[in-house]
């Protein structure tokens, strides 16, 4: 039984189906006997059934009346079929409009998809029971599964369902032709609303919504209060001249336009199109030689460099040469604190304090006194964002100073020279099919995580407090 | 021990009432099925004022059966005591009437909306009716519905409401039923098992059904080798939402 109460806060409104109302208007026009699509009679063994239309007629009518070109008209027609306003008579499982002589018929308005009401499971159970009666237990595999599921779930209603199914099945008094028409209609309706597995359904709209988008919202006190707060906040926002913001946008676009996979095909080939994984392999975080595109991207901004794991590794090598790795180490430690588990937070905070912030610490970072004071005070009661001020300061320091030195350094120039530029793939149709067949799942994420942990352990061991004396001693020894 | 205290007369009356309710339930089932069948031709080329009148009549019959059944079943359930023999039967009837009422209310809502979309007040409205392929008439269905009689011995005078009020009335009925009787719905065991209805067949209907299936399977047009939805050579997606075209 459906739960019925006004306080039921379940989500039940379907979004994004407002196109259905517009489609209905078009369908009504389409079937107009004088100006609509021309219908013929379908000849079956025993009877003739009127009002049958062909695919090419539909496409032609749509092209003329909606004033679009042929390809779009076909897509539009396919949408009509997929939503269930027209159903195909041949190959009824595939809801596509074929622009040839294949036959279609209009669906009766009772079975039109309506935004407000979903196709109910009770009705589906009755339909399956009817089909069971008619076909004497021979249903499709997915229908059998659904039947069993519904039987288990709606067990208490089962008497009612069987009784209704038997009653509805008894309509033998209708003429043969009408029975065929009705059965075709019902079958088409259920193919749209309960699609067979591994087919796409046009009624797939995601989750139900809590609020009905079509209903007018009641103007209560709460509503007005909400609107007032919203507008007050909107007025208080800081304003930027459009010339400034548009200039920033234009600059961003010119910088990044060659790196957008929608605008420029990515090298060697887009794995989603060609099922070839080389693009992902070449850009993996632990790859030896990065691609030219990534290296170029690192030079755009410090944020890009830090975000790309390969770029960060390169930057780390550079910093090691300069003996100023503590800034980046602190930044990474702060990130770990931000994103880490709540349990480990106090422990991490203490470690960070000992390593980076305490006076005389092994990797002491150079931040101004005010920030240092704030951070140390905050560390008494550590929370996730206690290092935020210090982290921002360090970030700006690295960006303004170290980043530009990095870009001019021999490390970066060497990487630029070594970077590879893969040639674009050019797969033939047969190769594409083969790629599709050879699709394999990628590395188990558990293995990737384990590798990361190993790397971290190695890095932690290596980056222990660098004993300057020992290092200088070893250098002096060699001399 | 209370059931031994009931007199024979009481037991007999109760049995009669339960049987009456069962017959009424079967009748209601029939009427709602007819109503649905007629509702499917609303808005199609078979629609007409005749169909709408028949719908109205069927709805009135259903309303009469509904209200009578509801009243009787409610009284049966309220005066039911623990450990009564026909407890299961009455509860089963209860679930069935709730489901039929909900089903019927859904059909009523659909009918209301369809009647608003396809009003038949003017001549040119007939052009808007969808040519869905019907050729015959629904007069037999309506006759079937009219044949159903209310199995009450006494005639009750209740005014049957119009469509909108009927929907609201069913809402009220259902609300009342849920509040006054507390029967856990999931505890009711059905008498029918799964898949049973497919096994039992009637002789007369067999050959007709087979040929019906043949008729519905129009021969498939030979498809060309591309299994995509559009003509793009890279399209392997069988749906209309591919981005390649």
Q: What confidence score (pLDDT) does residue B242 get?
A: 42
Q: What confidence score (pLDDT) does residue A171 get?
A: 67
Phi, psi for residue B229 in degrees, rounded to 5: -95, -20
pLDDT in tens, A98-148: 888 888 888 888 888 876 777 888 889 889 888 888 877 678 888 888 888
Q: What confidence score (pLDDT) does residue A281 get?
A: 86
Distance between A174 CA and the closest CA of chain B, angstroms: 7
Q: Is A244 helix (H, G, I), strand (E, B) or coil?
A: helix
Q: What confidence score (pLDDT) does residue B89 get?
A: 82
Q: What confidence score (pLDDT) does residue B78 get?
A: 74
Residue A129 has its nearest CB partner, among B42, B43, B197, at B197
A132 at interface of B, judged by CB pairs closer than 8 A: yes
pLDDT in tens, A366-415: 888 999 999 989 888 888 899 999 999 999 999 998 999 999 999 899 99
Q: What is the mean pLDDT of residues B74-100?
A: 77
Output DSSP code: residue A42: E
Tell me the C-alpha distance between B11 and B88, whole Å: 16
In sequence order, the 6+-apart residues with CB closer than 8 A to the CB of B183 are B77, B91, B94, B95
Tell me the C-alpha distance between B58 and B75, whole Å: 26
In sequence order, the 6+-apart residues with CB closer than 8 A to the CB of B187 are A156, B91
- Characterize the bridge pairing of strands A103-106 and A40-43: unpaired
Tell me the C-alpha distance between B26 and B65, whole Å: 10
A397 at interface of B, judged by CB pairs closer than 8 A: no
Decide if pLDDT at B84 tops 80: no
Q: What confidence score (pLDDT) does residue B126 get?
A: 65
Task: Kindly determine whether residue B185 and residue A1, on different chains, have CB atoms separated by under 8 Å.
Answer: yes
Distance between B183 CA and the closest CA of chain A, angstroms: 12
Provide the token pair at B61: 């019959």
pTM (2 d.p.): 0.63
Distance between B155 CA and the closest CA of chain A, angstroms: 26
A436 at interface of B, judged by CB pairs closer than 8 A: yes
Window A:263-282, CB contacts with B under 8 Å: 273
Tell me the C-alpha distance between B223 and A407, whole Å: 60
Q: Is A120 exposed, middle or buried (0-12, 13-18, 19+ CB in 10 A)?
A: middle
Q: What confidence score (pLDDT) does residue B240 get?
A: 43
Q: What confidence score (pLDDT) does residue B80 get?
A: 67
Tell me the C-alpha distance between B61 and B69, whole Å: 12
Q: Is the dihedral of CA A12, A13, A15, A21 positive or negative?
A: positive
Provide the token pair at B173: 């009925």
Which CA distances in Å does A422 have to A186, A340, A349, A428?
Answer: 55, 37, 44, 18
Q: Is B36 exposed, middle or buried (0-12, 13-18, 19+ CB in 10 A)?
A: buried
Q: What confidence score (pLDDT) does residue B151 get?
A: 58
Task: Kindly determine whether residue A179 and residue B26, on different chains, have CB atoms separated by under 8 Å.
Answer: no
Provide the token pair at A222: 């709460």
In angstroms, the first-to-last Cα distance of chain B is 78
Chain B's closest residue to A200, CA to CA, is B239
| Mean pLDDT, chain B, whole residue set | 71
Q: How many CA atoms lie within 13 A of B52 on its CB side?
A: 17
Task: Kindly determine whether residue A132 and residue B214, on different chains, have CB atoms separated by under 8 Å.
Answer: no
Q: What confidence score (pLDDT) does residue B49 get?
A: 79
Instruction: Please report residues of B whose CB lies closer than 8 A to that of A200.
Output: 237-241
Task: Kindly determine whether residue A200 and residue B178, on different chains, have CB atoms separated by under 8 Å.
Answer: no
Q: Which residues pair with A86 in a beta bridge?
A: A106
Angle between helices B87-117 and A158-169 (to 10 degrees): 50
Phi, psi for residue A156 in degrees, rounded to 5: -70, -20
At CB < 8 A and 24+ separation, what contacts does A282-289 make?
A282/A420, A282/A422, A283/A310, A285/A309, A285/A310, A286/A310, A286/A451, A286/A455, A289/A418, A289/A419, A289/A420
Output DSSP code: residue A118: P
Show the low-confidence residues of chain A (pLDDT under 50). Answer: 1
Distance of CA A49 to the CA centre of its chain: 45
Task: Kindly determine whether residue A160 and residue B99, on different chains, have CB atoms separated by under 8 Å.
Answer: yes
Decide if pLDDT at B69 tops 80: yes
Decide if pLDDT at B153 tops 60: no
Q: Quick one: pLDDT band at residue B199, thresholds 50, 70, 90?
A: low
Whether CATH 1.10.167.10 fits A290-418: yes
Phi, psi for residue A51 in degrees, rounded to 5: 65, 55
| Mean pLDDT, chain A, whole residue set | 84
Distance between B7 CA and the closest CA of chain A, angstroms: 32
Domain ranges within chain B, ordered by starting residue: 11-122+138-181
pLDDT in tens, A435-476: 888 888 877 889 988 988 898 888 777 766 556 666 677 677
Decide if pLDDT at B235 tops 70: no
CB pairs under 8 A between A and B: 227
Instruction: Please report residues of A whose CB lies closer than 8 A to that of B32.
Output: 164
Instruction: Please report residues of B whose CB lies closer than 8 A to that of A270.
Output: none
What DSSP letter does each residue of B170-230 carry, written as one string? HHHHHHHHHHH----GGGPPPSSPTTHHHH---TTHHHHHHHHHHHH-PPPPPPPS--SSS
More confident: B151 or A181: A181
Instruction: Please report residues of B whose CB lies closer than 8 A to that of A163.
Output: 26, 29, 96
Q: Is the dihedral of CA B138, B139, B143, B144 positive or negative?
A: negative
More confident: A271 or B7: A271
A199 at interface of B, judged by CB pairs closer than 8 A: yes
Buried b (16+ CB within 10 A) or exposed e, A133-157: bbebeebeeebeebbeebbeebebb
Output DSSP code: residue A358: S
Instruction: Please report residues of A whose CB lies closer than 8 A to that of B133.
Output: 49-52, 105-106, 181
Class of domain B11-122+138-181: mainly alpha
Identify the residue among A16, A93, A139, A158 best suited for mutation to test binding to B, counting B beta carbons within 10 A and taking the highest: A158
Instruction: Please report residues of A whose CB lies closer than 8 A to that of B241.
Output: 200
Decide if pLDDT at B225 tops 60: no
Residue B40 has its nearest CB partner, among A101, A110, A117, at A110
Chain B's closest residue to A78, CA to CA, is B240
Q: What confidence score (pLDDT) does residue A67 get?
A: 85
Q: What confidence score (pLDDT) does residue B226 get?
A: 36
Task: Kindly determine whether residue A167 and residue B114, on different chains, have CB atoms separated by under 8 Å.
Answer: no
Decide if pLDDT at B187 tops 90: no
Residue A162 has its nearest CB partner, among B135, B189, B197, at B197
Residues B163, B99, B178: CA angle, nearest 5 degrees: 90
* Helices of type H across A194-325: 221-236, 242-256, 271-274, 278-282, 292-298, 302-307, 309-322
Give chain A's largest Cα–Cα span: 110
């Amino acid at each position: 039984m459906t739960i019925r109460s006004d306080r039921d806060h379940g989500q039940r409104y379907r979004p994004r189906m407002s196109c259905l109302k517009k489609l209905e208007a078009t369908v009504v026009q389409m079937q107009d006997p004088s100006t609509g699509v021309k219908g013929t009679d379908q000849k079956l063994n025993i009877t003739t059934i009127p009002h049958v239309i062909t695919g090419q007629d539909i496409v032609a009518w749509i092209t003329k009346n909606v004033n679009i070109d042929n390809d779009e008209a076909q897509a539009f027609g396919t949408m009509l079929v997929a939503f269930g306003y027209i159903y195909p008579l041949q190959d009824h499982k595939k809801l596509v409009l074929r622009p040839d002589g294949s036959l279609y018929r209009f669906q009766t308005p009772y079975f039109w998809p309506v935004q407000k009401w979903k196709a109910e499971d009770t009705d589906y159970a009755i339909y399956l029971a009817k089909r069971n009666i008619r076909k004497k237990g021979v249903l499709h595999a997915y229908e059998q599964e659904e039947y069993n599921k519904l039987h288990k779930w709606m067990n208490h209603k089962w008497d009612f369902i069987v009784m209704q199914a038997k009653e509805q099945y008894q309509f033998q008094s209708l003429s043969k032709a009408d029975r065929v028409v009705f059965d075709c209609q019902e079958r088409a309706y259920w193919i749209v609303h309960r699609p067979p597995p591994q087919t796409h359904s046009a009624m797939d709209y995601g989750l139900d919504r809590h609020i009905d988008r079509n209903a007018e919202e009641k103007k209560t006190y709460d509503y007005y209060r909400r609107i007032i707060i919203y507008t007050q906040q909107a007025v208080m926002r800081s304003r930027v001249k459009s010339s400034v913001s548009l200039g920033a946008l234009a600059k961003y676009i010119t910088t990044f336009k060659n790196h957008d996979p929608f605008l420029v095909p990515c090298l060697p080939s887009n794995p989603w199109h060609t099922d070839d994984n080389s693009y992902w392999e070449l850009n993996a975080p632990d790859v030896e030689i990065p691609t030219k595109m990534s290296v170029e991207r690192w030079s755009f901004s410090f944020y890009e460099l830090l975000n790309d794991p390969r770029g960060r590794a390169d930057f780390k090598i550079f910093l090691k040469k300069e003996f100023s790795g503590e800034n980046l180490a602190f930044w990474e430690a702060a990130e770990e604190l931000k994103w880490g588990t709540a349990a480990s937070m106090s422990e991490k905070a203490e470690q960070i304090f000992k390593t980076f912030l305490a006076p005389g610490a092994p990797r002491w970072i150079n931040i101004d006194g005010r920030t240092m004071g704030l951070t140390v005070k905050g560390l008494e009661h550590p929370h996730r964002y206690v290092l935020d001020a210090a982290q921002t300061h360090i970030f700006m320091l690295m960006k303004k100073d170290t980043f530009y030195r990095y870009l001019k350094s021999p490390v970066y120039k060497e990487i630029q020279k070594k970077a590879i530029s893969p040639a674009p793939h050019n797969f033939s149709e047969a190769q594409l099919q083969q790629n599709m067949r050879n699709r394999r799942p990628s590395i188990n994420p558990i293995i990737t995580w384990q590798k990361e942990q190993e790397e971290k352990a190695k890095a932690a061991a290596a980056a222990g407090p660098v004993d300057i004396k020992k290092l200088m001693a070893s250098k002096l020894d060699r001399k | 021990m209370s059931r031994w205290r009931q007199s024979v007369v009481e037991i007999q009356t109760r049995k009669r009432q339960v049987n009456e309710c069962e017959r009424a339930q079967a009748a209601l089932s029939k009427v709602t099925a007819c109503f649905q069948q007629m509702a499917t031709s609303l808005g199609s080329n078979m629609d007409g004022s005749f169909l709408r009148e028949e719908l109205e009549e069927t709805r009135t019959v259903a309303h009469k059966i509904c209200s009578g059944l509801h009243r009787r079943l409610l009284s049966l359930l309220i005066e039911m005591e623990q450990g009564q023999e026909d407890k299961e039967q009455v509860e089963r009837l209860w679930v069935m009437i709730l489901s039929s009422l909900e089903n019927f209310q859904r059909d009523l809502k659909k009918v209301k909306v369809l009647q608003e979309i396809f009003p038949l007040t003017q001549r040119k409205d007939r052009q808007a009716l969808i040519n869905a392929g019907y050729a015959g008439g629904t007069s037999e269905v309506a006759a079937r519905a009219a044949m159903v009689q209310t199995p009450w011995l006494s005639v009750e005078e209740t005014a049957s409401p119009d469509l909108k009020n009927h929907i609201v009335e069913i809402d009220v009925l259902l609300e009342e039923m849920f509040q006054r009787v507390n029967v856990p719905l999931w505890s009711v065991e059905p008498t029918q098992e799964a898949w049973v209805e497919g096994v039992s067949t009637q002789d007369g209907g067999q050959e007709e059904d087979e040929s019906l299936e043949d008729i519905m399977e129009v021969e498939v047009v030979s498809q060309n080798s591309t299994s995509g939805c559009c003509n793009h050579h890279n399209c392997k997606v069988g749906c209309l939402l591919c981005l390649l075209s």
